[in-house]
């Protein structure tokens, strides 16, 4: 039994080996896989003597602040830092990286290495390590570090385990493979504290996140196997819940037994609508997200579409009913 996957890492290794100063970014509204793979790869590269800029557009949720080197994450390139390589993590398209990454993507002198596991990836790097079978981008970082012959330290193991736990929802969803479990066992052997990470990631939240769930859960409708939740911007604003992540609200909607696919609609300040979808195995919301300009996986995907809210809801729910039928 092999602890790796058939993939040619040589072009990625060559980019990494040649660069001394590396900027790494992952997607906006970062989840534990975005932050865990950012920190895990970045710390490993620091261990190899590289200078690393850890970039993330917008705030990191407080329940991830405990991760090693989380304090190094910034939304601006540190002054005087001139990257020789840009690594884009867990992001299926360039705009998903937010504004901090755009000048780096536009700079012809800085190659982009894309590392991502979304089937909807647009392959926007000079080199693309896109492995759809990987349960998390953090899983791909393990393959990459193995290919570099880099031993995994406890610090790196903790960061990467956060990514594994986040995207597999504690090794519970169908993307979790025997290989995922073998790699996770190696991270545990390297010192990753699964129980502490699980507690921080899943059982520790800010009060306002729970209040947002309350709002989202009250505003739900179930029809023809589709469960949807709608959060108008003025309600978010009135309760001071702007900017609060609804990823875990989305996961919770799918616990309703009668739902085959679920969707949460959240209106933004500029009148657009953020959409987060989930599906039971056998259904696919990733293709719809891609069609609507977003991306994701078959079972978890998202996008942002123009308002008004009622029309966006009508349009997406109609399509989802066809998907769920």
User: Which of ligand AMP, Mn ion, none does residue 137 bind (CB under 5 to 8 Å by kind)?
Assistant: Mn ion
Cβ proximity of 267 and 307 under 8 Å: yes
Min dist CB 193 to Mn ion, Å, is 21
Phi and psi torsions of 148, nearest 5°: -80, -5
- Can you tell me whether residue 202 is helix, strand or coil? helix
Is 139 a binding residue for Mn ion by CB under 5 A? The answer is no
User: Which of ligand AMP, Mn ion, none does residue 303 bind (CB under 5 to 8 Å by kind)?
Assistant: ligand AMP
> Which is it for the CA torsion 317, 322, 324, 325, positive or negative?
positive
* Nearest CA among 296, 311, 305 for reference residue 90: 296
Judged by beta carbon, residue 304 or residue 319, the one nearer ligand AMP is 304
Judged by beta carbon, residue 62 or residue 78, the one nearer ligand AMP is 62
The residue number with the shortest CB distance to ligand AMP is 302
Binding mask 47-86 for Mn ion (x = CB under 5 A): ----------------------------------------
Min dist CB 167 to Mn ion, Å, is 5
- The per-residue DSSP string of 249-305 comes to HHHHHTTSTT-SEEEEEEE-TTSEEEEEEEE-TT---HHHHHHTT-EE-SSEEEEEE
Cα–Cα distance for residue pair 164/139, rounded to 1 Å: 7
* Alpha-carbon distance values, 65 to 57, 159, 164, 207, 242 (Å): 15, 11, 17, 16, 20
Judged by beta carbon, residue 26 or residue 83, the one nearer ligand AMP is 26
Stretch that binds Mn ion, among 93-101, 129-137, 203-211, 288-296 (CB under 5 A): 129-137
Min dist CB 219 to ligand AMP, Å, is 17
Report which DSSP code applies to 25. E
- The per-residue DSSP string of 42-87 comes to HHHHHHTT-EEEEEESSPPPGGGTTSTTGGG-BSSPPTT---SEEE
Is 93 a binding residue for Mn ion by CB under 5 A? The answer is no
| Structure token digits, residue 316 | 């997406």
Binding interface with ligand AMP (CB under 6 A): 27, 31, 92, 96, 118, 247, 250, 276, 294-297, 300-304
Judged by beta carbon, residue 36 or residue 83, the one nearer ligand AMP is 36
Is 29 a binding residue for Mn ion by CB under 5 A? The answer is no
| Structure token digits, residue 79 | 């002054």
User: Which of Mn ion, ligand AMP, none does residue 262 bind (CB under 5 to 8 Å by kind)?
Assistant: none
Min dist CB 153 to ligand AMP, Å, is 27
Task: Say how many CA atoms lie within 13 Å of 163 toward its Cβ.
Answer: 30
User: Which of ligand AMP, Mn ion, none does residue 250 bind (CB under 5 to 8 Å by kind)?
Assistant: ligand AMP
Is 158 a binding residue for Mn ion by CB under 5 A? The answer is no
User: Which of Mn ion, ligand AMP, none does residue 301 bind (CB under 5 to 8 Å by kind)?
Assistant: ligand AMP
Is 34 a binding residue for Mn ion by CB under 5 A? The answer is yes
Judged by beta carbon, residue 16 or residue 277, the one nearer ligand AMP is 277
Cβ proximity of 276 and 263 under 8 Å: yes
Is 141 a binding residue for Mn ion by CB under 5 A? The answer is no
> Which residue ranges make up the site for Mn ion (CB under 5 A)?
31, 33-34, 90, 137, 167
């Amino acid at each position: 039994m092999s602890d790796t996957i058939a993939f040619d890492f040589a072009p990625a290794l060559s980019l990494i080996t040649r660069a001394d100063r590396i900027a790494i970014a992952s997607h906006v509204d970062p989840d534990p896989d975005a932050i865990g793979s950012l920190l895990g790869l970045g710390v490993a590269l620091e261990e190899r003597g590289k200078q690393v800029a850890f970039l993330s557009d917008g705030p990191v949720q407080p329940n991830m602040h405990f991760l090693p080197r989380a304090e190094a994450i910034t939304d601006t390139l540190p002054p005087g830092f001139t990257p020789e390589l840009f690594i884009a993590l867990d992001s299926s398209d360039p705009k998903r990286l937010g504004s901090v990454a755009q000048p780096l993507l536009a700079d012809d002198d800085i190659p982009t290495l894309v590392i991502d596991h979304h089937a909807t990836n647009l392959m926007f790097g000079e080199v693309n390590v896109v492995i759809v079978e990987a349960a998390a981008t953090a899983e791909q970082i393990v393959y990459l570090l193995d290919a570099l012959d880099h031993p995994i330290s406890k610090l790196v193991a903790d960061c990467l385990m956060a990514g594994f736990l986040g995207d597999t929802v504690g090794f519970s969803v169908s993307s979790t493979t025997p290989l995922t479990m073998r790699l996770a066992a190696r991270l545990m052997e390297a010192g990753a504290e699964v129980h502490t990470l699980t507690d921080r990631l899943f059982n520790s939240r800010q009060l306002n996140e729970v209040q947002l769930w309350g709002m989202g859960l009250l505003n739900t409708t179930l029809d023809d196997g589709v469960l949807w939740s709608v959060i108008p911007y003025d309600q978010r604003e009135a309760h001071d819940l702007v900017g609060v992540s609804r990823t875990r609200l989305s996961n919770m909607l799918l616990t309703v037994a009668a739902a085959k696919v679920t969707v949460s609609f959240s209106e933004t300040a500029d009148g657009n609508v953020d959409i987060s979808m989930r599906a039971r195995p056998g259904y696919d919301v990733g293709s719809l997200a891609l069609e609507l300009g977003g991306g994701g996986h078959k079972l978890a995907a998202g996008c942002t579409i123009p308002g008004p809210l009622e029309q966006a809801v009508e349009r997406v729910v109609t399509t989802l009913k066809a998907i769920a039928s």
